[in-house]
Structure 1
């Protein structure tokens, strides 16, 4: 598989089984995040790895967070979250070590974390693993963030579920890049994607 084939075949999956990456593999995978654009070299990436017997404990913290931020969540959604967080082979909490007072805007700091996360997802795929980035209202829960060691002004950017894909991963059909691309010639451009109803 060429590097381009690898990038074009990556797809998120939550159909994951053991094994998760070994400590050495995970170190190499996370090192790819450090290659993300980082204006000001602020290094805002923070990764909290949850495995083994700590997963059910995290699942209970997730349920408690949902009670705070989604008090009307249906019981089925709560149980689905509990089950997923308790049983995924590995979970990585994506922390953002933000510096609101810095001259680099917060949005750039957050984008650096997002770019790092995409590198991790690509590295997982390149090494035979799979993953999916999950978020939701609980990423805005400062109590949950603090319980993970990400006290304000740090924040959560979500969680990666990580493991070995079960079966042949489904690669969904992607849109034509031409719909999202326009050549500028001195006047405002339009995009084919914006003309769809």
Structure 2
């Protein structure tokens, strides 16, 4: 396993076409999901859940989403149909992260949504720690109510993202990162009362 400092400094998103088999074993996946679940969670609400897209269920979901797109848009081009049908089979494993945030008498929904985002990032870091690579995307299916139903996601739930996980077939390149001076500032002194 990678030490934490190196892990955080070397994590990169890898393009989905570069994610190959093998994906995580059942034991590795369990460890990844346990680590993903260890996030700040005010009130212990667990305001998120994971949906695993793999095997025949992933392929069937892609076919159903292609049919949905075609019902709405008319005949799809061959390329678009292939893209939609392969949506959840482009990597060995796709993990949908779903926010189940809801009104609470004490815990603001925003804090619950942030917890779901933290679970997603922990998921990505845990995959990297196990030697895998990941890519976090949404696309139209994350925001479409009919598509959500096809994926087993309720109307009151929101898709945080789909995390594609696999073995990287190439060394990921880094991208420009912000200069700290552009994103860090000291708090101003408040005016005297």
- What is the rounded CA distance, in whole Å, between the counterparts of 1:89 and 1:45 in structure 2? 23
Q: Is the 8 A contact 1:44 1:97 kept in 2?
A: yes
Structure 2 partner of 1:5: 6
1:64 Cα deviation (Å)?
A: 4.1
TM-score norm. by structure 1 comes to 0.82
- What is the rounded CA distance, in whole Å, between the counterparts of 1:175 and 1:78 in structure 2? 38
Does 2:185 align with 1:182? yes
Structure 2 partner of 1:145: 148
- What is the rounded CA distance, in whole Å, between the counterparts of 1:163 and 1:34 in structure 2? 20
Q: Is the 8 A contact 2:98 2:160 kept in 1?
A: yes
Q: Is the 8 A contact 2:65 2:150 kept in 1?
A: no
How many residue pairs get aligned? The number is 187
Structure 1 pair 102/89, CA: closer, same or farther in 2 (3 Å)?
farther
Q: Where does structure 1 lack aligned partners over 5 or more consecutive residues?
A: 189-197
- What is the rounded CA distance, in whole Å, between the counterparts of 1:145 and 1:126 in structure 2? 30
Give the alignment's Cα RMSD to 1 decimal: 2.6
1:163 Cα deviation (Å)?
A: 0.6
Structure 1 partner of 2:27: 24
Structure 2 partner of 1:164: 167
TM-score norm. by structure 2 comes to 0.84
Structure 1 pair 139/84, CA: closer, same or farther in 2 (3 Å)?
closer
Structure 1 partner of 2:130: 127
